[in-house]
Amino acid sequence: MKYSIEGEPLPVAICDLEAGETLICESGAMSWMTPNMKMETVGGGAGKMLGRMFSGESLFQNKYTAEGGPGMIAFASSFPGSIRAFEIDSKQEIIAQKKAFLASTAGVTLSVAYQKKLGAGFAGGEGFIMQKFSGQGTVLVEFDGYVKEYELQAGQQMILDTGYLAAMSSTCTMDIKTVPGLKNALFGGEGIFNTVITGPGHVWVQTMPVPQLAGAIIPYLPTRS
């Protein structure tokens, strides 16, 4: 498969497949395609279906296969932001925010990544359940806003406001840290908790988390009389 990502901040991933190649995507993710792309809706078993549901995806996925020759299929982002492609193998497994999955080649496995520390899941703002991409192949994911990358050495840490973690290497760990000082926590505007990512591994930080954008817009929405 060959792909190009175009059009930020409203990006689309355009994928060119050879005859017989298959892409798997979230239900309803296809934006446009050539006529020879055959669709098949699959579940993959009750366990996998429930896992996808808990990780923010739909119960079913769609498989698109190029038949009779090369084909093209495009996946547009559902929110202003970025689409990134990751090459997944045994040395490169990625943990991402819920609903990040857009599409992948057939060899990539989407599973649930549970935060080992309950506090990090319930108070860290990233969620107790995230998405893990493993196996072998290419996965396309969507993030909120612009994405900044950092490489953390063993023991090196990055502190993020809640919701700003887009993805991290599976070798990284996530925890929460209470904002020091009662006045800082109550009046500093940053909330009570921060997310702490510890290396080694790579971290992708997003600049426009959906909850923060929604919170900024709500005061300007008209109220019902």
pLDDT tens digits, one per residue of 130-161: 899 999 999 999 999 999 999 999 999 999 98
What is the per-residue pLDDT for 66?
98
Q: Is the pLDDT of residue 172 over 70?
A: yes
What is the per-residue pLDDT for 186?
46
Per residue in 97-138, pLDDT (tens digit) is 988 999 999 999 998 887 655 454 444 445 568 899 999 999
Its pTM surpasses 0.85: no
What is the per-residue pLDDT for 187?
45
What is the C-alpha to C-alpha distance for residues 93 and 168, in angstroms, rounded to an integer? 9
Of 25-34, 92-101, 188-197, which gets the smallest average pLDDT?
Answer: 188-197
Q: Which residue bears the tokens 């840290």?
A: 177
Go through the domains of the chain in sequence order and give each one's CATH number: 2-212 (3.60.160.10)
